[in-house]
Structure 1
Amino acid sequence: MLPRLVSNLAALLALTTTLVPVQAGPLCFAVESATACVYSTQDAGDALIRIEYPPQLGWVAFGLGTGMNSADVMMAYALPDGSISITRRSSSGHFLPTLASTQDLTITNSSSSSSGNVVTFRRPLAAASASTPSIQQSTQPLIWAGYTGSPPTSPGAIPQHTVSGVASGNLLDGSMAFAHSSPSAPPPTIVTGDDGSRDRRLRIIHGTLMAFAWVGLAPAAILIARFGKKALGVWWFRIHFTLFGLCAALTYAAFAIVYRVVADTGENHYDYSASGIHVILGLLVVILTAPQAFLGIVIDKLWSPTRKSIPWRDKLHWWLGRLTFLLAVINIPFGIALFYRDDNNNNRPAWPYILYALLLGAAVVAFVGLAIKSRREAAGHHVAVASNDNTGHKDDRRGQLDRPTSAQTLDPARDIP
């Protein structure tokens, strides 16, 4: 008796469950004071998706993926004729996603009016490319974005988002199905995102630290080591060490900042396709800075006033420093270009490049001027030596400057060629 009763109750509960409508749980996200919602369910082997957003938003988009480095994006914006454009795009970095080669989104209904914009469309479950995810029968990570302002004038002229964020959901199991007509549907949860201002500030700090380190501190450290030994005496190394130590510290601080920014966006830290050559050159600078600093400390500890020649480790320090400095100054313009590409596709001011060129030019002028002065002083010294030669022969000893005899004390001013 009891088993049959339990069985009947279970069957009744199962039947009741099938009759209760699925509660809608759309992805609703806030773009400043406006709210946009995305609904989805499976229909005849496709995803049937509905996007609703108010007219103060120029465009809205959502996609499958954990970040902008690899996402399958669907973007909607109103057209002048009162319909809605929906395009499928592939994202490979923190910039405008490119149009997919195949535009296979089929609109079933769309309208644009002062009361709001709505577009319903079908989307195949397959991914747009091998690098982007497909729609699965499971909860998946989603990204979203919206722009406050006028709609785009063309598919290639999309202004940067006002706010973006991440979420998750199952696009196929009915949990995100459209259910406005159901009086029992709970109010949707509205997710909030980031307007990008924090990441923008951190990217600016990253670039400022790197520029100050390699266009300010590094050239000063090099000039002191190359031309300041005679004037500064024992202080040349202390100042050189301090300046380059600060350069190394700022380099690693800047690296940590941008590493955190990239981690927050979900992108690949060393993705050449997304960040170009800047990420490769920057990584080389970060890798080479530590051994260059360590080598300088070792050289100082092993220096001997009675040595007869310049050791290989000194020469390695010279050339490793030159290589690291060259990579850094080459990489800074690439970083400026990458920042403005990510920050605003339509605004790339010239002043950062001009400022960089002026600072680097000042360092070059200082180096050339001091090099000419040093050569003149060396030439005057050789003339004096030749005029005092008891043999009456002119002796050009420029080749001897860096090779003192065992009876000489090595002049630290000759330590770097």
Structure 2
Amino acid sequence: MIGAMSKLSAVIMACLLLLLSASANAQSTDQASLFADTSCNSNVCLRAVYSPSERRMNMTMSANGGGAPMGWYAVGTGSRMDGSNMMIGWVDTTGKVVMSQRTASGHSNPSTSITALAATMEPAHSFSNSSGTVWAWSFPMSGSETAPSASTPFIWAVNKQNNPDSSTSASIRRHTAYGSMTLDLTKPYTSSSSSSTGSNTGTNTPVTPATNGGNTEDQNRSHRVLNRNNRLIIAHMVMMIVAWFILVPAAILIGRYGRTFFTWFPAHRGIQIAAFVFVLIGMVLIIVEVGSGTHFDSTHAKAGLAIFIIMFVQMLLGAVGHKTKRFNVSRIVHVVIGLGVTVAAIWNATAGLHLWDWGVPRWASWILWIWAALLFVAYLAGLALLPRDLREWREKSANTRGEKQEYLGLQNNASPGASTHQHSPGEQPTSPTAWANPPLQQAPSRAYQSYAHQPHAPSGGI
């Protein structure tokens, strides 16, 4: 009896070991078929685990601070708000995390009327306390959605001053910071990598967003993929920098110094036309990059459109004003608008650098501002020639008026026939002026010519 019981126990133990081994192998196989990546900035961290077999992305968003209202945080799929599948999270007054799935038709207030598949919230892995806040959920992928790639784009936004109520449909105010990030969801998932997320460790330890003192090079590495969008952005940036930091300032300085030293207008006009072509190409490139999304939905984009329109009007004003006299009001307006739109374009170009998620270093904008300062000093130096230009213009205007008055005076004193002025015996006759033919150089009348050609009878002698 005891021997039979021992054999039965051995069989049961062997079965249990076999089941545990199979379970471990299955778990290992499942983990091997998962892909994951994490991206952080100074506001929020996002981690995504993609399961190809389930066609599902398990998402974890985390931020510093918690246990009380701390504003709202959001991430969404894609590279822009239009059509993005978003998750917006916040903490209510009781310290409970709230998650709301929303979408938007452009750069507008997201709506809870979604067209994507409903997300599955993970309240067991979501929390908020003094160590941080974590929101966990999963997005099912529809059959029409493409599989994640090595540069899967996401957008993020925050407003740390706006605290919605506990309703998932609560209204939110406009974000105070936003941007985009890219995850490499072809990287294999490992259990060690999951320890950085609060949803997988079970220790309620959130991912700590990177601070400004962190290694931003590592944070931006996943963003620096030379894909089609980044190529278009780089081309747009090059076109605008060449136009507003080289061509337009060169045309302005030629106009300022050329008025004193050389013939300036042909070069000024040619360079400005070239600058306009560069700006036009830059506009087309960024419109193509945005694609079917909402255009001109940011301050940078709206300012760029306004600058482009003013530049076109400015060129027309310059063509018309050049036909007027020097220091005409239209010319002065042309100069003032030209300087103003150039300063605005330089500011807008440097501001645009910080919108690019490539992670442009700060010294890049410093170089642009230093170059702009040097151009400003060069223009101020050219203004020192303005009194000389004004004096020469007045002298030329006075000479022109004197010549005109002299011309009119000679014309009024001249008689239609021969001169009646009597010269003294010792007086030399003055040479005729260039304004009118002298009387002796006038052609004989037709009556005299006809009389001279008629035959005449010889006169009789006495």
TM-score under structure 1 length normalisation = 0.50
Q: Say which structure is richer in strand.
A: 1
Larger Rg: 2
